[in-house]
Amino acid sequence: MEVIRAFAGEAEPPEPAGAARTPEAPTAAREPAAFGHYVLGDVALARELRMTPKEAEDEARALSKEKLEDMNRALDEYILRQMCFKSEIVDEIARLHEDSAYAILGVSSQATDAEIKRAYRVVAMQCHPDKGGDKEDFQELRDAYEKIMEQRKTAGGADRAE
């Protein structure tokens, strides 16, 4: 979780040795005076999300306009970081999904078309239903091969000598 917090910009400085911390106790990362503006930490965010509309309205009335603007800016920054994080995760999942087709054939994504074709033929001979292989495994192999070749065809003239 600390890695995610650090990525999202929310990692709090370590507490001094022997300091007790309660959820209600302010920390340097949540105190506006510490950095000159409001920083949204995990505890503060969880508290905000648990509030009823009435509680949020009452708290907003008790705060200054500047403090509310700082909180709003912190929430905007948090949302932006989460959107960026989600985008990176989606990109990584797509890359892993793409690489899985190569893994099924037992080749790297850097392999030439000829190497991919050769690997496909070797594995196809082993798992073809007529040779005692599983029909679903063979279909998965064919799908992976077709997916790779289609991607390479649409990608254009990459250096893939046969």
Residue 132 has pLDDT above 80, yes or no: yes
Q: What is the pTM of this model?
A: 0.49
Is the pLDDT at 4 greater than 70? The verdict is no
Nearest CA to 151 among 92, 87, 97?
Answer: 97
Per the CB < 8 A criterion, the answer to whether 29 and 15 are in contact is no
How far is Cα of residue 45 from the mean position of the Cα atoms in its chain?
20
Answer with the one of 91, 124, 147 that is the final residue of a domain: 91
Residue 10 confidence class, pLDDT cut points 50, 70, 90: low
What confidence score (pLDDT) does residue 113 get?
93
Q: What is the pLDDT of residues 53-81, one digit of tens each?
A: 999 999 999 999 999 999 999 999 999 99
Domain that holds residue 116: 106-155
Lowest mean pLDDT among 20-24, 37-41, 144-148: 20-24
| Whether residue 41 is found in the same domain as residue 75 | yes
Confidence class for position 98, pLDDT limits 50, 70, 90: confident
Q: For the chain, how many structural domains are there in total? A: 2
Q: Are residues 84 and 123 in the same domain?
A: no
